[in-house]
């Protein structure tokens, strides 16, 4: 983005406040390469302390929705490292970098840095950096309180290898001051998951971490994170690839009084809502905010509605002041006929229970040979319902039909 002479008069006539808003829409790579040579006024704006405190040294290019690169041009990177970072490195507080530029960017001393985002890293490369790169290890050990990790994946959804699990464990062991960790939820399009094979018995992060965002492979992984190791964890946002019956190593029934915020997302149908999810929620005795995005499968049974949610969950959460949800129920008609409720029946189940505005609908799907979305048995038909809080606040919407209202 170079400024042409034809536009100089218009740009120069803009007040600093407007120019600063424009510059804030650019990352440091764009701004420094395009504007610092215009005149002294632009130099001062680009190097404004409020702007340079948060540096994003990436440039995203989309090949497709799932294929994105973040590297900046070599010439721009050289200009940044040789001319710009020399002047501002000691003022930077938040930094976003990718794997190809990290070694050069981290040659400078960032004495005020507390937030680090590592985006678009291959598993092997990131693990190598965490193991061998002294500057990165020093930052993680001594300074970083906010850390965001994004790992490349070549398919969607992707179960990452054990290397990524080891990266997670290594981060927990390295970071002594970590307060907030986002592991694989930086970009929702990634949809990559890790398995947590074994957590260390002790590590510094257990006594510092208050907020965690993470994608995990199984519900057991979720239980491992809530087994009491993270003493001060108050906010957990977790996406579980699949919730199904597993042989659990141990069942943890202890209460979770420190947890104030819990968000659970799973895009696969589960038959274990009552056995797994409800007992876990009942352990969160001081929860203030609950977010659920779930798909539940049942046989010859009832739909999840306002009455069931209230009786099983909300009635036991006296501190809850915010509940956001999108819950699909698919009832497979195998042996018995069921009374299919109307949209109004589902809606009415929420009346008088302090849910706020709620949307709901039901639709009937005759069983056909190609309909296998939730079926693992021979079924006569499938009846599906969807209940959701309004206004609708999730990025994803599944099984959209004409009954949906915003």
The closest of 196, 147, 135 to 171, measured between CA atoms, is: 147
Q: Which three-class secondary structure state does DSSP give residue 158?
A: strand
> Which two tokens mark 45?
């704006």
153 vs 272, which has greater pLDDT? 272
**Residue 147 corresponds to which tokens in the numbers above?**
């850390």
Query: Would you call 275 helix, strand, or coil by DSSP?
Result: helix
Q: State the pLDDT confidence band at 181, using cuts at 50, 70 and 90.
A: very high
Per-residue confidence at 1, pLDDT binned at 50, 70, 90?
A: very low
Which helix (H) or strand (E) is 29 found in, with range?
Answer: helix 28-35
Which region among 28-42, 169-183, 225-239 has the lowest average model confidence (pLDDT)? 28-42
Domain boundaries, the chain: 280-406
pLDDT at residue 370, as a whole number:
47
Q: Are 249 and 282 in contact (CB under 8 A)?
A: no
User: Which range among 225-239, 244-258, 316-330 shows the weakest confidence by mean pLDDT?
Assistant: 244-258
Name 154's Cβ contacts closer than 8 Å, sequence gap at least 6: none
Position 252 scores a pLDDT of: 66
What letters, b where the CB count within 10 A reaches 16 and e where it falls short, cover 205-230? Answer: bbebbbbbbbbbbbbbbbbbbbeebb
Cα angle, residue 30 at apex, residues 125 and 7 outer, rounded to 5°: 165
How far apart (Å, rounded) are the C-alpha atoms in residues 35 and 1?
Answer: 9
Rounded Cα gap, residues 83 and 288, in angstroms: 48
Residue 68 has pLDDT above 80, yes or no: no
- pLDDT score at 45: 60
So what's the pLDDT on residue 197? 81
Q: What is the pLDDT of residues 18-33, one digit of tens each?
A: 766 666 666 666 665 5
**Selection from 339, 383, 393, 386 nearest residue 360 by Cα:** 386
Peptide bond into 21 cis (omega under 30): no
Work out the mean pLDDT of the chain and round it to a whole number.
84
* Section 37-56 average pLDDT: 64
334-374 pLDDT, tens digit per residue, is: 777 667 778 888 888 998 887 889 999 988 777 654 455 55
Q: What pLDDT does residue 142 have?
A: 98
| Extended strands (E) in 85-210 | 94-98, 115-121, 146-151, 158-159, 180-183, 192-193
pLDDT exceeding 70 applies to what percent of the chain? 78
pTM for this model (two decimals): 0.85
Which tens digit of pLDDT belongs to each residue from 278-290? 999 999 999 999 9
98 pLDDT exceeds 70? yes
pLDDT(206) > 80: yes
Predicted local confidence at residue 84, as pLDDT: 79
Of 145-159, 179-193, 199-213, 345-359, where does the model show the most confidence? 199-213
Mean pLDDT of 173-192: 91
Residue 249 confidence (pLDDT): 53
102-141 confidence digits (pLDDT tens): 999 999 999 999 999 999 999 999 999 999 999 999 999 9
């Amino acid at each position: 983005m170079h400024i042409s002479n034809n536009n100089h008069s218009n740009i120069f006539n803009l007040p600093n406040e407007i120019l600063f808003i424009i510059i804030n829409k650019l990352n440091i790579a764009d701004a420094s390469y395009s504007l610092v040579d215009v005149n002294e006024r632009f130099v001062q704006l680009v190097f404004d302390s409020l702007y340079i405190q948060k540096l994003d040294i990436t440039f995203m290019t989309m090949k497709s929705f799932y294929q994105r690169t973040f590297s900046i041009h070599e010439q721009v990177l050289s200009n940044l490292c040789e001319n710009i970072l020399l002047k501002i490195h000691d003022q930077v507080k938040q930094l976003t970098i990718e794997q190809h530029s990290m070694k050069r960017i981290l040659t400078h001393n960032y004495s005020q840095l507390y937030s680090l985002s590592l985006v678009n890293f291959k598993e092997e490369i990131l693990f190598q950096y965490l193991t061998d790169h002294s500057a990165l290890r020093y930052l993680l050990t001594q300074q970083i309180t906010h850390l965001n990790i994004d790992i490349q994946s070549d398919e969607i959804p992707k179960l990452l290898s054990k290397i990524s699990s080891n990266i997670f464990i290594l981060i927990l062991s390295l970071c002594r001051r970590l307060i907030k960790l986002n592991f694989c939820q930086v970009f929702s399009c990634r949809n990559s998951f890790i398995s947590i094979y074994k957590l260390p018995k002790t590590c510094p992060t257990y006594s510092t971490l208050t907020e965690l965002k993470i994608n995990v492979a199984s519900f057991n992984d979720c239980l491992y994170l809530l087994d009491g190791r993270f003493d001060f964890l108050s906010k957990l946002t977790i996406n579980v690839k699949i919730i199904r019956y597993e042989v659990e190593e141990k069942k943890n029934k202890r209460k979770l009084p420190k947890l104030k915020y819990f968000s659970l997302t799973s895009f696969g149908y589960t038959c274990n809502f009552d056995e797994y999810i409800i007992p876990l929620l009942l352990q969160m005795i001081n929860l203030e905010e609950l977010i659920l995005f779930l798909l539940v499968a049942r046989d010859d049974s009832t739909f999840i509605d306002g009455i069931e949610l209230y009786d099983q969950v909300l009635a036991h959460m006296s501190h809850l002041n915010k509940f956001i949800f999108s819950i699909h129920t698919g009832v497979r008609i195998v042996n018995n006929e069921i009374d299919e409720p109307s949209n109004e029946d589902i809606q009415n189940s929420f009346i008088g229970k302090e849910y706020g505005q709620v949307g709901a609908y039901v639709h009937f799907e005759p069983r056909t040979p190609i309909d296998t979305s939730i079926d693992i048995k021979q079924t006569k038909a499938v009846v599906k319902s969807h209940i959701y809080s309004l206004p609708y606040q999730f990025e994803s919407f599944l099984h959209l039909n004409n009954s949906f209202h915003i």
